[in-house]
Chains A and B, each alone.
Chain A
Amino acid sequence: MENSSRAVIDVDRLNISYGDFHAVKDLSFRVEQGELYALLGTNGAGKTSALEAVEGHRRVSSGTVRVFGEKPADRRAVRHRMGIMLQESGFSADLTVAESVRLIGRLSGRSDSVDRVLGTVDLNRKADVRVGQLSGGEKRRLDFATAVYGRPELIFLDEPTTGLDIQSRDALWAAVRELRGNGSTIVLTTHYLEEAQQYADRIGLMHRGTFRREGTVSELTRRLPAAIRFALSPTTTPVPPIGTRATDGRVYVAETFQLQADLKVLLDWAAAHDVELLDLSAAPTRLDDVFRSIESDPAPALNPTR
């Protein structure tokens, strides 16, 4: 095994089966200290099973999972160093917001101020309100508050912004930035790909139980071409140097791995022929495109960090 001295999470050939169903297959990855690692996947890809195994909530069928060098199911050894934001609420409706944070905080093995933590997610005014009376978004914020109680070294954020309005999302990501500034490692799962694209240092893309892609956003997106789109007026006679005509006859699309160079060729051609490029757009490859490509991709599963 490689040196994993800075690896906060080290997963090696993880397999999880439910009866005959193989949910996770030979999954290996590492998360380094201070990283924000996004675990993404198609529906039923196995990311929840994998994440729960790393959190210590699920038994593995084979393979090893280490968090801070320990088995994650060994709660006394690792839980005081990690905060977990579950995908679903997990709070008792009859406890107040402050009582819920205080309870989970006291059991976390870390110390912090309930007021400070609630202030992080703007829930101070709701401190004495019972959890059952909170909105869905407020429950997510409460969940986040308990996960970051005591500023843990490792934080799992499972769909953290689902149901949050834009201000709450911004506040949550600001809090995450502050935690990262203090050295916390973050593991994120989300369906909002733009958040992963914006905040993640590295991304693991799961499909059918294993990784199909893993790397930084630029490493993932550079495998797919960017797109240049433009239209020509019906009276234009010169043929453009790049792009193929779309079905309506006016719009051209050019897929390119050299966006800047090809765009320059197109603009030079337009200037030389005095042609107006209508509705011109040049879009870099987005994570969405990578995500869409993996389902149709026959490429074998990756095992990139081993």
Chain B
Amino acid sequence: MLPIAYSELAQIFRNRTVLISNLIMPLAISAFFIYRRDSFIALGSAGYIAAVLVFTIGAFSLYTTAVTTLAARRQDLFLKRLRSTTAGDATILSGLTLPVAGVALVQVMVVLGAFAAVTGRPADLALLVVGILSAFVMMLALAMATAGLTGSPEQAQVTTLPLSLTTIGVATWVGITGTEDLTVLKRLLPGGSATELIVNTWNGGVPPAQSLLLLGPILAWVVVAVVLALRLFRWEPRR
């Protein structure tokens, strides 16, 4: 897996398009949120900003980059090439997505670290990490499913939009309005429970056991995404 991951990391940093649209842009958006934090905290809370930052990076740096990467590698027949070796399918997918996930995690750590430096530490760091990781696992699984519907890296710009915008929109909606009304709907939407979990762990005031229950809908989305990925993912371009 590591040779694949290393080559993938090199490719990410050599491709200017990927670097700018999927790595630099989320950082720029994050910087804007942190710079205008007082306005956004007035709108929701510090936890709301943290959730939006997580899902901005999750949607662009992780989800969109992963879909683009998998579509590009399939179109180039690079996936088929890798399958000509001793590497198993799980190893190939892990190797291809590990650098994307790693870069996204580093971005989240840097961005939330900067945010914490100017607004104060999160109330429950350990549970916040669990929330971020579970959200990223969900986004990665959804990326594999979406890659099955994406024929080329150009198409990825379109096929990733619905889910990217939905998750950021849900994070904004849930982050600002909370889950006191329309609770079930908000928690079942992709990113809804994760947003609530991040808001709770950043702001504090909610018992950890209650927040942990929010992992249920997140894991359900992971299962749905994995099932979809198993059905939809293709290793070679359609002929």
Contact residues of A with B, CB < 8 Å?
55, 57, 75-76, 79-80, 84, 86, 88-95, 99, 102-104, 106-109, 130, 146
Contact = CB atoms under 8 A, between A and B. Distances in A.
A95 B10 contact: yes
A106 B2 CA distance: 10
Given A91-B78, A92-B78, A94-B15, A107 B85 contact: yes
B80 A75 contact: no
Contacts of B14: 94, 130
B7 interface: yes
Main secondary structure on B side of the interface with A: helix
Given A86-B84, A108-B86, 15 more contacts: A57-B80, A57-B236, A79-B84, A89-B76, A90-B76, A91-B78, A92-B78, A93-B76, A95-B7, A99-B7, A99-B10, A103-B4, A104-B85, A109-B86, A146-B81
A90 B10 contact: no
Contacts of A80: 86
A107 to B, nearest CB: 4
B85 A79 contact: yes
Nearest to B79: A90
B11 interface: yes
A86 B7 contact: no
A266 B3 CA distance: 68
Q: Indicate the member of B86, B88, B236 with the most A CB atoms within 10 Å.
A: B86
Contacts of A57: 80, 83-84, 236
B85 A86 contact: no
A212 B213 CA distance: 65
Contacts of B85: 75, 79, 104, 107-109
Q: Indicate the member of B10, B76, B88 with the most A CB atoms within 10 Å.
A: B76
Cβ-closest 5 pairs across A and B = A90-B81, A107-B85, A90-B77, A84-B84, A109-B86
B3 A103 contact: yes
Nearest to B85: A107
Contacts, number: 68
A117 to B, nearest CB: 15
A88 B78 CA distance: 10
Contacts of A106: 3
B3 A76 contact: no
13 contacts: A55-B84, A57-B80, A76-B86, A76-B88, A86-B81, A89-B77, A90-B77, A90-B80, A90-B81, A90-B84, A107-B4, A107-B87, A130-B14
Contacts of A76: 86, 88
Interface string B197-239: 0000000000000000000000000000000000000001000
B82 interface: yes
Contact of A91 (B81, B83, B87): B81
B73 interface: yes
Nearest to B78: A92
Q: Indicate the member of A79, A80, A130 with the most B CB atoms within 10 Å.
A: A79
A146 B77 CA distance: 15
B81 A94 contact: no
Nearest to B3: A106
A84 B83 CA distance: 10
A109 B84 CA distance: 11
A130 B14 CA distance: 10
A228 to B, nearest CB: 45
Interface string B1-27: 001100100110011000000000000
Contacts of A55: 84
Contacts of B3: 102-103, 106-107
Q: Indicate the member of A80, A92, A109 with the most B CB atoms within 10 Å.
A: A92
Contact of A94 (B11, B82, B236): B11
